[in-house]
Chain A
């Protein structure tokens, strides 16, 4: 069959460039992380030959388990805060008139595309001992001269929520937009209070959006590195900071790889969930469509 062969041929021609590129530069390097974990470090900061469990054993080193636990815990708190803020926003955005909705959407998207470093830096300036917020709090009598806002776990959480909130708002809004708001009215007609109607109809109705939001915020949070590096202190270090220190400070790539392998495994669990979810809906498409 000539047509069939031609179709196969054009499929391969269109697929191969991106397929080979990602196979070589995405999948292979990712697998390499796991392989390098079992390699020794060479004295020049490269990767030695032979195999060893040395890097794997550094993972049980006294402070790593605490840092891994903190990474998961901080990511969970940041994700929860994002979802708590994004849910009423999704509800509001789905109900307002289209003109105002376009404005709100644009306002949600704009900071999302502005420089990540600039947005973190903006908070560093705001939280600085001589900055705006410290002066405001001191003026209100809520902070003393020696209260430190910067380099704390709270600062890390605040900035994580700030940078990741749009990732929660967009999928929740996308789900809320498809929700039939008459269900809420029906529940109220049947005697439910506003809150009860909201919890028993709206939340289950946007379930997929909530789950997507959770994953979209939780996964990048686990990999946070710049935020704790700039606004955090020694007591708010996350796995990402340790990966960077092993890579750039001690120049021990196998140790960095071992930590990254842990991170990859931590990400894999929610990622499998995301791919299962994708079969039902395609929230990322919505995100990208709205995002541009």
Chain B
């Protein structure tokens, strides 16, 4: 059969389309010219200037505090949810539960952001890093659940039953069998939640208060009003961190699949 070359051409052109802007951005972070139309000279001056931006470092600390807490909370809630969805599949409660977990995955972020702001304002809760954290748990939860649920599909529950026949209580089977065996899935879900949390702008922007600037909120205001080369340098650092996280998550995920 004659193969058309078109699909291959489209695929590799799209790859170029995906990576060209990123490569230009990374290259520009080492360019001393402001907009990167011309290459002036290679320098690290934007990185050095970045070091002196105290706001950025404060925003980074805020982002990490939110991301770590939201990740841990959503790992606990999500693992428990995935367990329930898998173990009790088909019950009426789990159908409702699944709907609740699934909806946040498909709803536009701006809707979730505004609805949470209305919720906090109605309750007279002051917007702060805490409200951002709560909002992040809400969307991370669904992603962790789905990741762990995917791993549970190939989990053999007869191991747990065997342990229980041998006298293990549910606490022992939870800590000695279920959690260790699901660890790669839970960790992959956690890394995913962490990545989503440090990257979230729209929802955070809607539930942020004075003094609770996270890194994406800071980057947004820099894009709107600030200095482009500084964002290039910051973006390059962020891209490196995310690439490491994604590759790590990918590795853990595959390892989990092979182990199961």
Q: A22-B104, A131-B35 are in contact. Are A89 and B14 (CB under 8 A)?
A: yes
Contact of A247 among B37, B111, B117, B147 (CB under 8 A): B117
Contact digits for A235-276, partner B, Cβ 8 Å, 1 yes 0 no: 000001001100100000100110010011001000100110
Q: A22-B100, A25-B119, A124-B223 are in contact. Are A115 and B235 (CB under 8 A)?
A: yes
A14 touching B106, Cβ below 8 Å: no
Q: Is A207 an interface residue (CB 8 A)?
A: no
Q: A92-B7, A134-B37, A284-B105 are in contact. Are A11 and B84 (CB under 8 A)?
A: yes
Residues of the A chain whose Cβ atoms lie less than 8 Å from the Cβ of B36: 125, 130-132
Residues of the A chain whose Cβ atoms lie less than 8 Å from the Cβ of B238: 114-115, 118
CB of B196 to closest CB in A, whole Å? 8
CB of B131 to closest CB in A, whole Å? 10
Q: Whole-angstrom distance between the alpha carbons of A240 and B110 in the complex?
A: 7
Contact of B97 among A10, A19, A223, A264 (CB under 8 A): A19
Residues of the B chain whose Cβ atoms lie less than 8 Å from the Cβ of A33: 111, 114-115, 118
Number of interface residues of B (CB under 8 A): 98
Q: Is B93 an interface residue (CB 8 A)?
A: yes
Residues of the A chain whose Cβ atoms lie less than 8 Å from the Cβ of B104: 22, 26
B201 touching A288, Cβ below 8 Å: no
- CB neighbors of A among B93-140 (8 A): 93-94, 96-97, 99-112, 114-119, 121-122, 134-135, 137-138
- CB neighbors of A among B198-232 (8 A): 199, 201-202, 206, 216, 219-220, 223-224, 228, 231-232
Q: Is B71 an interface residue (CB 8 A)?
A: no
A88 touching B88, Cβ below 8 Å: no
Q: A18-B80, A123-B21, A130-B37 are in contact. Are A89 and B110 (CB under 8 A)?
A: no
B81 touching A15, Cβ below 8 Å: yes
Contact digits for A14-35, partner B, Cβ 8 Å, 1 yes 0 no: 1101110111011111101100
Q: Whole-angstrom distance between the alpha carbons of A13 and B24 in the complex?
A: 51
Q: A125-B228, A222-B108 are in contact. Are A247 and B22 (CB under 8 A)?
A: no
Q: Is A285 an interface residue (CB 8 A)?
A: yes
Contact of B201 among A10, A25, A93, A226 (CB under 8 A): A226
Residues of the A chain whose Cβ atoms lie less than 8 Å from the Cβ of B115: 29-30, 32-33, 260
B93 touching A225, Cβ below 8 Å: no
Q: Is B18 an interface residue (CB 8 A)?
A: yes
Q: Is B183 an interface residue (CB 8 A)?
A: no
Task: Identify whether the interface residues of B are mostly helix, strand, loop, or mixed.
Answer: helix
Contact of B116 among A25, A120, A124, A244 (CB under 8 A): A25
In the complex, residue of chain A having the shortest beta-carbon distance to the beta carbon of B243: A110
A194 touching B2, Cβ below 8 Å: yes
Q: A17-B77, A89-B14, A285-B149 are in contact. Are A116 and B141 (CB under 8 A)?
A: no
Q: A115-B199, A194-B4, A257-B114 are in contact. Are A267 and B21 (CB under 8 A)?
A: no
- Counting chain A CB atoms within 10 Å of each CB, which of B6, B37, B109 scores highest? B37
Residues of the B chain whose Cβ atoms lie less than 8 Å from the Cβ of A109: 246, 250
Residues of the B chain whose Cβ atoms lie less than 8 Å from the Cβ of A113: 195, 199, 242, 245-246
Residues of the B chain whose Cβ atoms lie less than 8 Å from the Cβ of A7: 88
Other 6 A-B pairs with CB < 8 A, given A122-B235, A247-B117: A15-B81, A15-B88, A130-B35, A194-B4, A264-B111, A267-B111
Q: List 26 A-B contacts (CB under 8 A).
A: A14-B84, A14-B88, A15-B94, A19-B81, A19-B96, A19-B97, A26-B104, A28-B119, A29-B112, A46-B121, A89-B7, A113-B195, A115-B219, A118-B219, A126-B20, A126-B24, A131-B37, A216-B106, A223-B107, A223-B109, A223-B111, A240-B110, A243-B110, A247-B117, A267-B111, A285-B149
Q: Which 8 A-B pairs have the closest CB atoms?
A: A223-B108, A18-B81, A92-B7, A122-B21, A29-B115, A14-B84, A130-B35, A29-B119
Q: Which residues of A contact B (CB under 8 A)?
A: 7, 10-12, 14-15, 17-19, 21-23, 25-30, 32-33, 36, 46-47, 85, 88-89, 91-93, 95, 104, 106-111, 113-126, 128, 130-132, 134-135, 162, 165, 184-185, 188, 194, 215-216, 219-220, 222-223, 225-226, 230, 240, 243-244, 247, 253, 256-257, 260, 263-264, 267, 271, 274-275, 278, 284-285, 288-289, 291-292
